[in-house]
Structure 1
Amino acid sequence: MKKRKLFLPLMVMVFLFGCSSDNETNSGGTNVTIDKSANLLATGASANDLLSNNNFDQLLIEIAYVTGFRPTDEALENFENFLMQRTFKQNIQFSFNELPSPNEETLLLDEIVDLESENRTAYNQGGTLAIYIYFADAPADSDDESEGVVSLGAVYRNTSMVIYEKTLRDLVGNSVIVTVSDVETATLNHEFGHLFGLVNLGTTPVNDHEDPDAENHCVVNGCLMRAELQFGGTMMKAMESNTSKGLAAVPELDAECILDLQSNGGR
């Protein structure tokens, strides 16, 4: 029984890290070795483990957020529903880790990796697969606001992602139709689609539907994994267009992406 607690933008950053294990002291003063190697793999490497219950039947999602930039409860509930819909995980839990600001004007991905190394607390253990999501108070260093190119999120390991929460909120501040929770939901779902191995990023497509002009994104119109959701401005336009037509603001996965997930152990 499920326990509840309560887009790579949208670029795909593929990193491969070596094995790692650290000694930490538990509450009883005993050194405990934590093997982190299974959480330091390339993006998409844990797609089957996320989708199926073959090796892990529980999911623990660590929400690490800078003070003042915690995601909305509504977005996390929507995100949990998305995971329940597309995976066989029935036990999904969230833990929350409030962090001080790193006091950076922008963040390089290497800096985000360093912050994870310093602050992440949840790693795979037994039948529990752990995910780390960092909600940042600074934009991506690669953003170019003069060109309207801003990143809302990125995945960079098999169980790691960043959401540029300040950028997201600034973007939504200009809309009277789309809410912060809408954009948080779309970004979380899109990025997790990449952790699921979409598109051609660890989950082999049943049929060819990868956009030839946008690697690891779907070519089917309206799909959650479309490249048009890669950057804030175009993503907002797509969501506002959906809303104006009476459709749900947050795009869903198309039939081809769902077929790929089903072929790799998902629903």
Structure 2
Amino acid sequence: MKKIALFALYSFGLMLSCSKDADISSPGSNSNLKAGNLLSTGASARDILSNDTYDKLLIEIDYVTGFAPTAGAIANFEEFLLARTHKETIEFNYTALSSPNEETLTLDEVVDLESENRDEYNDGSTLAIHIYFADAPSDSDVEGENLVTLGAVYRNTSMIIYERTIKELTENSSISTEEVETATILHEFGHLFGLVNLSTESVNDHEDPEADNHCNADQCLMRAELEFGASLLKQMEKNTSKGLASVPDFDSDCLLDLQKYGGR
């Protein structure tokens, strides 16, 4: 299992973590029907971005009761998908789940939770994405150093958001839960788009040599360290104080890559 620590956030000791190319066996006897959702991260970039094979996105949001995403973050997410893909039909299905009662979650446990709870898989011209909003932190968090993980991707249509961690992070901040959720979801979805060099090949060389599969451009959504600087919250507060959007967008090279694989 490969994991990449993102956004080294030193002042507050925070980090987002992205996981890719998880070597995980297919779940259950119906795996042949699910094969299109059991590929490596980035493998469905063209399918997500273009309408060549699929013209509808179905986003399944499974959340532990009490840890649903904010309506604003999902609205931002939908706007992002409409702006960057050619999909015009996007549906969100929500399911409240009981807690798995885990103190922390390993990525293997996250995969098991998806296998147990995921209902939607690719069907006809509909491409399905699964996002799990958790009530437990990642097992990779380092409590003594306040190093925490906000989100991760694995496979081509699978994502986890550590919602409890986000709520705790924003509890006493001027930056809202909605904003941090938005930044986390959009960054992680950028990896499902294939950014950077995840089952895809960039138009120009813009991968950060010190952070695999991340952009080397300042102020890019896919930047590993610099966009969020010493602290995610501090950087977002700095952006808003300047009248800028707290959540960054893709830089020009990332946009070229999206266009190469059928996006906008």
Superposition deviation, residue 188 in structure 1: 0.5
Judged with a 3 Å threshold, the aligned counterparts in structure 2 of structure 1 residues 232 and 125 are, in CA distance, closer, same or farther, namely farther
Q: Which amino acid aligns with 1:101?
A: S
The question of whether the paired residues in 2 share the 8 Å contact of 1:149 and 1:232 is answered with: no
Distance (whole Å) between structure 1 residues aligned to residue 126 and residue 233 of structure 2:
35
Local SS of the residue matching 2:16:
coil
Residue 130 of structure 2 contacts residue 157 of structure 2 at CA under 8 Å; is this kept in 1? yes
Instruction: Please state how far the C-alpha of 1:14 moved relative to its aligned partner.
Output: 1.8
Residue in structure 1 matched with residue 11 of structure 2 by the alignment: none
Q: Name the residue aligned to 2:176.
A: 179
Distance 2:113 2:26 in 1: 18
Residue of structure 2 in register with 1:26 after alignment: none
Residue of structure 2 aligned with 1:167, choices 150, 155, 165: 165
**Shift of residue 230, structure 1, vs aligned partner:** 9.5
Which of 66, 76, 85 lines up with 2:64 in the alignment? Answer: 66
The alignment covers a number of residue pairs equal to: 251
Of residues 250, 253, 256, the one that matches 1:253 is 250
**Please, which moves more after superposition, 132-141 or 224-233?**
224-233
Counterpart in 2 of 1:98?
96
Contact in 2 for aligned 1:140/1:164 (Cα 8 Å) = yes
In 2, Cα distance between the equivalents of 1:76 and 1:41?
A: 25
1:79 partnered with 2:77? yes
Offset at residue 233 of structure 1 (A): 7.0
Which amino acid counterpart does residue 234 of structure 2 have in structure 1?
Answer: K
Post-superposition offset of 1:145: 3.1
* Counterpart for residue 9 of structure 1: 16
Counterparts of residues 200-219 of structure 1 (less than 5 Å): 200-219=197-216
Q: TM-score, length-normalised on structure 1?
A: 0.89
Equivalent pair of 1:62/1:132 in contact (CA under 8 Å): yes
Q: Structure 1's 250 and 226: CA in aligned 2 closer, same or farther, altered over 3 A?
A: same
Normalised by the length of structure 2, the TM-score is: 0.90
Q: Unpaired segments of 5 or more residues in structure 1?
A: 1-6, 24-32
Pair 236,127 (structure 1): closer, same or farther in 2 beyond 3 Å:
same
- 1:127-138 correspondence runs (5 A): 127-138=125-136
**2:111 equivalent in structure 1:** 113
Greater shift in the superposed pair: 56-65 or 34-43: 34-43
Deviation digits for residues 116-147 of structure 1, max 9, x if unmatched? 00000000000000000000001000011332
CA deviation after TM superposition for structure 1 residue 173, in Å: 1.2
Aligned residues: CA RMSD:
2.0
Of all paired residues, the percent bearing the same amino acid is 61
1:212 maps to a residue whose letter is P
1:228 positional shift: 2.2
Give, in whole Å, the separation in 1 of the partners of 2:41 and 2:204. Answer: 21
What is the deviation of 1:221? 0.4
For residues 138 and 111 of structure 2, what CA distance do their matches in structure 1 show?
13
- Hey, what does 1:190 align to over in structure 2? 187
